[in-house]
Structure formats: C-alpha cells, structure tokens
A and B are shown apart, each in its own frame.
Chain A
C-alpha cells in the first residue's frame, strides 16, 4: 500500500467502486428483466397459485420491488463502511 502513488491508489479505489456498481446493476437488471420475460413468455406459470389469493406472479413482483430496495441497501452499506473508509485513508 505504502509504495503506491496517490494516482494508483485512486485508480484502485475507482475500479472497486465501478466493479461493485456494475455487479449490483447487473443484479437489478437480471431480477427485473427476468420478471418481465417470465410475464411475457410464461403467463400460466405466473398465474399459478401458491396459496389462496397468492399467485407466483404477485409474489415475484413484490420480490422484485423488495430486491430493488435490498440491493440499494447493500450498496449503501458497502459504501458507508468499506468505501468511505478507503476514501478516508486516501484523503490522509
């Protein structure tokens, strides 16, 4: 660490942030388009009842909304702990 120049250190930091952002964006894309494509291609499956009043589609739709919030939360937790600490290190 100590041998690295400031510029290299920043590059590592930037790369880490973009990597985390890319993985989480991909997660969001997969969950959302997975849901939409299931709706488009397999309507009977989405209409399958898991319990009285609860179809698979409703469950998955609610889960995609929840997943969006959870993924955002994961990012905020990562950024508040790991990333901000590394930034703090860098600033010194």
Chain B
C-alpha cells in the first residue's frame, strides 16, 4: 500500500485480524442465538427483562461509551500533540458523575423502556412522546452516521477491505444482534467488547511501559526530550475559553441525554443497582482514558510522529501501529479486531435505542394509545431495528469521506439541549407542563442543529466560506440554557394543574421506587392508574 512504510502492514489484508474478528463475531452470534431463545417479551427485548446486575451493566455502559473513536482518536491526538489529548479524555469522562447524581436513580424508578417514559409520566403522552422521539432519533442518526463512516475508514485501513464492504458487514452483523437477541444479546456483546478493549489497551500499555521501567513519567520525559517540553503543556486545542466551556457543557450534559446510555438504566432491577452500575462504568472509562494517554505518548516516542502522520494525517492509526511495533503482526490483528468489534457494539446499542423510540414511544404509545398487544409491540420493535440497520448502512455509504467529528459534536449537543433539560425539569420541577416539555425539546434539537449549521465547523471547514454567522464550533453554551429557559417560560405562561397535581406521585415513585408499590400504604397516591398505562418499572 505504502512503499515508504516497510515497518507497518496497516492497509494490507491481515489474516490474523480477520481470524480474530471472525472468532469475535462467531462468539457473539452464539450469544445472540442463546439470547434469542430468551427474548419473547418486549421487556426482554428492550431491557433484558431488568435482570442485569450492577457490575454487568457497568461494563455494558462502559462498552456503550468507549467507542473506537475515543480509543483511536485520543491516542492519535496525544501521539501528535501530547497533552491536548488529556483535555478530551477529561471532557468525555466528567458527564458520568452528573449522570449518577441527577439521572440514574429517578430514571430507573420512573421509566420503563425509554427516557420519554419519565418526561411523559405526568404530562400528556402524545405530544411529549412525539417530541422526545424526534430528539432521540436525531441523536441516534448523527451518532450512527459518525460510527458507520468511522468504521468504513478504519476497516479499510486496518483490514484492507473496501469501505463499502466494511460498512455493510458492520450493518448486517449489528442487525443480527439487535433483531434476534435484543437487549440481552446487546448487553453481552457490550460486556465482551468492553473486556477485550480494556484488556487489549492494558496489555499494549504494559508492553510500552516495560521499556520505561514501568514508570509513565519516564515515558513522558522521553517524549519531552524528543519533541520539546511543550508536549507536556496545553497546546492549540483550547484557544478560546468560551469555545472550551461550550464543548465542555455539551460533553458533560450530553452524556446524560444520550438515549442508548439512558436506556441501559432500565436493564438493572432497581435504583441501587443503577447507581452502582454508573460507579463501575466511571471507574472503567476513567482507567481506559488514562491508559489511552499512555498509548499516545508511547506511539510518539517509539514510532515517531512522522511515521504516524504518513499512515493517517489525523493520527488515528497511532494505537494499532504501536501494537504492531511492540507485539508484531498478531497483536496488530488482535487490536484491529477489537476496534472493529467496538464499533459493532456501539452501533448495536444505538440501533436498539432508536428502535425503542420508534416502537415504544411512537407506535405503542402514540399510534395505538397503549393498546398494542405484546406480540405486535415486539414485531414493530424488530421491524424498527431492521429499518434502522438498513438506514445506517445507507447513510454510512452516502456520507463516505465526510468529516465525522462534527456529527459526534452534533449528537452530543442535541442530547444536551433537547433531552437533558426536559428530563431534569420533569423530575425536579412541579410546575413543568406538557407545552413546556414539548417547547423545550423542540427548541433544544432545532437550535442545536441550526447553530451547528451556522458554526465555523460547517460554514468554514465544510463549505469553505470565509466566516460563520455563529462563532462557536459547539453550540452547547447557547442551546442548553435556551432549552431550559424556553421550557421554564412556556410552563409559566400556561400552568397545567393536572400535571402539577400528579407531582406528588412522581416524587413518590422517583424516590421510593416501584418496590414499595405492591404493599404500598393505602394513603399513597402512587397506585392511581394513569389514562395511558403509566411507565411501570419491572420488579423482578
């Protein structure tokens, strides 16, 4: 492929990588086959029947969140510019405590399958569910495009397959997981992938550190000796404080609005397991980012920046090249297969959450007013998964060669602006109304998309204009407060006494959970049946 690069076999078909990948796919399809036999109800399809333990869900959450982009992207950024990669690692992680403190438990106690269950709990079902589904599908689509395009490029470079073939393989295998195995299979695929990714990154880091007496500081020092002390200091990444704060807000609160992450809280039996699972996930993800930081420095010292840039200008191949340099071709094969598997798993999680919005929120609750029989809900969910899978393949091919960074930024900005404010207000504020929720979600999604379109990322980088109408690359700083403000003002303009009246019920269920329902004291209003079957968490 690349005559100057005798040292790396990246870009050539790699038999070992393909074998490792086939083993992974075979193993996970076996899991899917096993799960398919257990997936008979909608609850099993969407939430694995609520029977996932806190540790398992912690790994699955980490698996959903640690995408190939963060593994390869951060390692590449550190390899090429040193310290700046750490800024990203920190930003991607800090959303998790917020999820634990504000979201995890109330969400688990109030909802059933989607975060719309929570927002719609005491509000009018139809308008709220439609707008929540719009926000969810927007986030899922942009995230899916980014993952599919990333997958195509990556596999093209690592395995030597064509871009289109890679996109189709990812799409088809992902459809199989979701269609037949539902959440049970998706959860186990995430767990297997998280373990492989953590183990692979750890072994790679140890192989690097062994050359530096297991002292990361010696490695950093070696990088500073080679490239100057600036590699240990902030560089060009954060040029404007406003920009940094805006991106930070989107990353921090976007995590608390990502539908595929929120959906994971319904797979555990209760609020205690929900909070525990975020604790495990935060630890695993934080550890992973710190290891990735070491990999980046390892690559820049052991391979050299020029060699890395020669293969990929963005530095995305730094980690796989490092794997080949310290562990030879078999280890490169292993790391490539893990990266491929990583994309596969993230895409499966996204598809499942999109299918839940289509089937549970739009079909069952809006079209059929909660009267769809179980087998019909399940059929719609499977059709939705199939449709989303095909759409993902199509979009992946259409968007070939596009810059995917802004799509991920967009997904996070929509999640932070459309989903998070409505979710938080519905749980914490008695005065929140149906109109307020709808206005907040629509404002959040529309303004995030609009401002990204007007931002320098699209206007200058993509369209090549001189300058942009909206100065910030990420709109979170404007759109998130705007969504809160609109939700608040619209709710104040036209109060909704029924919604306020049912707040006591929300508070009861949010804190006490569903466990207390069965033998509940007669005085509690929690047992009042809602007009549409209220989202009722599974008690197993």
Where the two chains meet, the residues of A that have a C-beta atom closer than 8 Å to any C-beta of B are 6-7, 10-11, 13-14, 17-18, 20-21, 24-25, 28-29, 31-33, 35-37, 39-41, 43-44, 46-47, 49, 51-55, 57-58, 61-62, 64-66, 68-69, 71-73, 75-76, 79-80, 84, 87, 90-91
* A36 pairs with B89, CB closer than 8 A: no
* B230 pairs with A47, CB closer than 8 A: yes
Stretch at the interface among B154-162, B277-285, B321-329: B277-285
Kindly state whether residue B462 has any CB partner on chain A within 8 Å: no
* A53 pairs with B221, CB closer than 8 A: yes
Contacts of A11 in B (CB 8 A): 507
Contacts of B272 in A (CB 8 A): 79-80, 84
Contacts of B286 in A (CB 8 A): 65-66, 68-69
Kindly state whether residue B420 has any CB partner on chain A within 8 Å: no
Q: Smallest CB-CB separation from A71: which chain B residue? A: B97
CB distance from A67 to the nearest CB of B (A): 9
* B94 pairs with A43, CB closer than 8 A: no
Interface centre among A13, A33, A51, by most chain B C-beta atoms within 10 angstroms, is A33
Stretch at the interface among B170-178, B197-205, B232-240, B383-391: B232-240
Find A53's partner among B98, B217, B240 (CB 8 Å cutoff). Answer: B217
* B98 pairs with A47, CB closer than 8 A: no
Contacts of A46 in B (CB 8 A): 83, 233-234
* B220 pairs with A33, CB closer than 8 A: no
* B279 pairs with A72, CB closer than 8 A: yes
Stretch at the interface among B39-47, B183-191, B468-476, B508-516: B508-516
With A and B bound together, what is the CA distance between A38 and B263 in angstroms?
35
Number of interface residues of B (CB under 8 A): 57
Provided the pairs A52-B217, A53-B218, A53-B224 are in contact, do residues A65 and B93 lie with their beta carbons within 8 angstroms? Answer: yes
Kindly state whether residue B132 has any CB partner on chain A within 8 Å: no
Kindly state whether residue B15 has any CB partner on chain A within 8 Å: no
* B217 pairs with A10, CB closer than 8 A: no
* B275 pairs with A52, CB closer than 8 A: no
Kindly state whether residue B490 has any CB partner on chain A within 8 Å: no
* B282 pairs with A6, CB closer than 8 A: no
CB distance from B164 to the nearest CB of A (A): 38
* A18 pairs with B244, CB closer than 8 A: no
CB distance from B486 to the nearest CB of A (A): 22
With A and B bound together, what is the CA distance between A11 and B507 in angstroms?
8
With A and B bound together, what is the CA distance between A49 and B219 in angstroms?
14
* B97 pairs with A61, CB closer than 8 A: no
Which secondary structure dominates chain A's binding surface? helix
Using A39-B244, A47-B233, A72-B279 as known contacts, list a sample of 9 further A-B pairs with CB atoms less than 8 Å apart, ordered by residue number in A.
A6-B523, A36-B91, A36-B248, A46-B83, A55-B233, A69-B286, A72-B278, A76-B279, A87-B512
Q: Smallest CB-CB separation from A91: which chain B residue? A: B516
Q: Which of B502-536 contact A (CB under 8 A)?
A: 504, 507-508, 510-512, 515-516, 521, 523-524
CB distance from B396 to the nearest CB of A (A): 32
With A and B bound together, what is the CA distance between A89 and B8 in angstroms?
64
Q: Smallest CB-CB separation from A54: which chain B residue? A: B217
Contacts of A65 in B (CB 8 A): 89-90, 93, 286, 289-290
Kindly state whether residue B100 has any CB partner on chain A within 8 Å: yes
* A75 pairs with B100, CB closer than 8 A: yes
Find B90's partner among A44, A64, A80 (CB 8 Å cutoff). Answer: A64
* A58 pairs with B102, CB closer than 8 A: no
10 contacts between A and B (CB under 8 A): A10-B512, A28-B252, A37-B244, A40-B240, A47-B229, A57-B86, A58-B232, A68-B282, A69-B282, A84-B272
